[in-house]
Structure 1
Amino acid sequence: MIPAQFDYERPASLAEACQALAEDDEAKVLAGGQSLLPLLRLRLAYPSKLVDVGRLDELKGVHDRGDHVFIGAMATHDEVMRSPAVTSGCPLVAMATSHVADPAIRHRGTFGGSLAHSDPAGDLPAVVLALDGVFVARSAQGEREIPAAEFFVDYLESSLAQGEILAGVKIPKLGDGWGFHYEKFHRTAQAWAIVGVAAAVRRSNGAITEARIGLTNMGPTPLRARATEAALRGVELGDAVRQACEQAAEDTSPPSDLHAQPDYRRHLARVLTHRAVRTAAGSP
């Protein structure tokens, strides 16, 4: 299909981009375009203006900043998954990013664009949520930081205000003793997750001392499996881990669609959480 008519603007700076958005309530940001352009073609989105930020160097790059890694919003998925700062400092991000679609999309799609799109079936939102990432937004009024727990508001809706642009994301480095794994169940290699689980697990003296678990496509936003996280604290590997992971689907509201019903997604959440936690904890 042919998109509805819209204006197009390519600002020369981030400040100009923020101003262009602030002037038009119906304007949308165009980054890699891998999510927005299909919506335009299907006429599921009707922006009055596209503000193209693809050439803004201020939004690019991956930077090691000591206690965290700052990933610019315009860093492509391929750049993120291959970045030494990411693979060493926050490997769970690299793992999950390698599951995003296919190589062609990973070379064009952007880290920030995927997160700002706020699709609960996307691979990255649950990962950033599990790692307690911090979103950095810029506007004509300045800069503000948004904790991941407050960023995802509803289906395809974030807490970015009109006139704000996602500049990048701070991913904390969790340090020694942590293991990571991303488990995804999907129909084909390029498909969205039917269910996905991002797990970060810290062990000490054979027992799990802390676990962080993000759930993909188990509600209108990415979710934390809080009941399982609490149940895993102090547990040694074995049947107790399986029992804790049986609580992974608590307080979720998985969607019903052509690919899976809610009860099947809840079953997948329990199974995949157990796999992800065991792998992250170093158990075969």
Structure 2
Amino acid sequence: MKAAPFAYHRPEAVKEAVDLLAEFGDDGKLLAGGQSLVPMLAMRLTHFDNLVDISRIEELVGIDRRDDAVVIGAATPDVFVELDDEVAESVPLLTRATPYIGHFQIRTRGTLGGSIAHADPAAEYAAVALALDAEMEAVSPRGSRNVAAKDFFTGLWENSLASDEILTAVRFPVWSGRSGFAIEEFARRHGDFAIAGAVVAVELDDDDRVKRCGIGLLGLGSTPLRGWTAEQAIAERSASEVEADELGRMVVDALDDIPADLQGSAAYRAKVGATMVARAWTSAIAEASNA
């Protein structure tokens, strides 16, 4: 199939893009890398009269260390994130998650902001943003605002941005101290969407107690999720007291409406998800313990 006809716009500045979105309203849609939107248009799963291509807006591309955070422009290609030394040193979870995103060709065109804004429940960057308490920077005709990752994802392929609002950058806090990070996911083939997966960030204090922890989940709900209940249960506990398998079960037991589809039943996804959490926790704790 081919996409239904649409008008194509390529602004050169954020303000111009915002003005176009305000003009088009619900008939306008942002196009970044297009790795998610273009196939949906081609299969006619969705349609918009106007596409606003922001991939060439230079102010939306870049990686910048600002004090205790790394700020990444929304139109920054995935491959830039994957290969950047500052990201690898300051936000290693992003570096480790990126190779799971499709294949190299997809990561060359896909963008960090596009992946996060698309709000796919199996998206790696969305899970990382949740686990690390990232903040989204957005601009609209009313000005700019920041949105916490926990408030950004609202449903299947839905986020909290208004129709005339653009995600301009994502701010990832830099975790210091004795920190460890890991991602584990299961897919039928490398590059496919995860059937289930988890990213884990953990920081230990000097007594090997869990100082803070973030658990982002892939493919276990209708939207990107975080394992809040399990995180609270292990807070301040000694790392040696937290059994990985127990933690995995705790995470999935707290979830409602685990999806079922041709890839697997809800029970299957829950079992795989618990295993992915346990594996990611084991790797992250090992790294933090040796930091």
| TM-score, normalised by the number of residues in structure 1 | 0.96
Task: Supply the distance in 2 between the matched residues of 1:90 and 1:49 (Cα, whole angstroms).
Answer: 36
Backbone CA RMSD of aligned residues = 1.5
What are the superposed Cα offsets for residues 7-48 of structure 1, whole Å, 9 maximum, x if unpaired? 111112110100001111211111111111001100011101
Q: Gaps spanning 5+ residues in structure 2: where?
A: none
Q: Give the match for residue 270 of structure 2.
A: 266
SS at match of 1:101: coil
> Where do residues 180-195 of structure 1 align in structure 2 (5 Å cutoff)?
180-195=181-196
Task: Supply the distance in 2 between the matched residues of 1:92 and 1:181 (Cα, whole angstroms).
Answer: 6
In terms of mean alpha carbon deviation, does 226-235 or 142-151 score higher?
226-235
Out of 249, 254, 257, the position equivalent to 1:246 is 249
Q: Give the match for residue 225 of structure 2.
A: 223
> Where do residues 1-284 of structure 1 align in structure 2 (5 Å cutoff)?
1-25=1-25, 26-204=27-205, 205-233=207-235, 234-237=237-240, 240-249=243-252, 250-282=254-286
| TM-score, normalised by the number of residues in structure 2 | 0.94
Task: Supply the distance in 2 between the matched residues of 1:212 and 1:257 (Cα, whole angstroms).
Answer: 27
The alpha-carbon distance between structure 1 residues 51 and 119, as it changes in their structure 2 partners (threshold 3 A), is: same
In terms of mean alpha carbon deviation, does 234-243 or 189-198 score higher?
234-243
Task: Supply the distance in 1 between the matched residues of 2:194 and 2:112 (Cα, whole angstroms).
Answer: 17
Give, in angstroms, the shift of residue 253 of structure 1: 2.2
SS at match of 1:171: strand
Give, in angstroms, the shift of residue 237 of structure 1: 2.5
Give, in angstroms, the shift of residue 142 of structure 1: 1.4
What are the superposed Cα offsets for residues 159-213 of structure 1, whole Å, 9 maximum, x if unpaired? 1101111101000011121100011111101100101101001123233332210
8 A contact 2:60–2:76 mirrored in 1:
yes
Q: Which amino acid aligns with 2:271?
A: H
8 A contact 2:118–2:157 mirrored in 1:
yes
Task: Supply the distance in 1 between the matched residues of 2:225 and 2:80 (Cα, whole angstroms).
Answer: 26
Give, in angstroms, the shift of residue 245 of structure 1: 2.8
Task: Supply the distance in 1 between the matched residues of 2:185 and 2:88 (Cα, whole angstroms).
Answer: 19
What are the superposed Cα offsets for residues 60-116 of structure 1, whole Å, 9 maximum, x if unpaired? 011111110001011111100111221111111111112100000011100000111
Task: Supply the distance in 2 between the matched residues of 1:207 and 1:129 (Cα, whole angstroms).
Answer: 22
Q: Which amino acid aligns with 2:226?
A: R
SS at match of 1:282: helix
The alpha-carbon distance between structure 1 residues 83 and 225, as it changes in their structure 2 partners (threshold 3 A), is: same
8 A contact 2:244–2:279 mirrored in 1:
no
As a proportion of its length, which structure holds more helix? 2
Give, in angstroms, the shift of residue 220 of structure 1: 1.1
Task: Supply the distance in 2 between the matched residues of 1:268 and 1:216 (Cα, whole angstroms).
Answer: 11
Q: Gaps spanning 5+ residues in structure 1: where?
A: none
8 A contact 1:218–1:252 mirrored in 2:
no
SS at match of 1:259: coil
8 A contact 2:239–2:285 mirrored in 1:
no
Q: Give me the identity figure in percent.
A: 37
The count of residues paired between Structure 1 and Structure 2 equals 284
Give, in angstroms, the shift of residue 238 of structure 1: 5.8
What are the superposed Cα offsets for residues 196-254 of structure 1, whole Å, 9 maximum, x if unpaired? 10100112323333221011111111111122212322133366343233201112322
Q: Which amino acid aligns with 1:281?
A: I
The alpha-carbon distance between structure 1 residues 263 and 113, as it changes in their structure 2 partners (threshold 3 A), is: same
The alpha-carbon distance between structure 1 residues 282 and 2, as it changes in their structure 2 partners (threshold 3 A), is: same
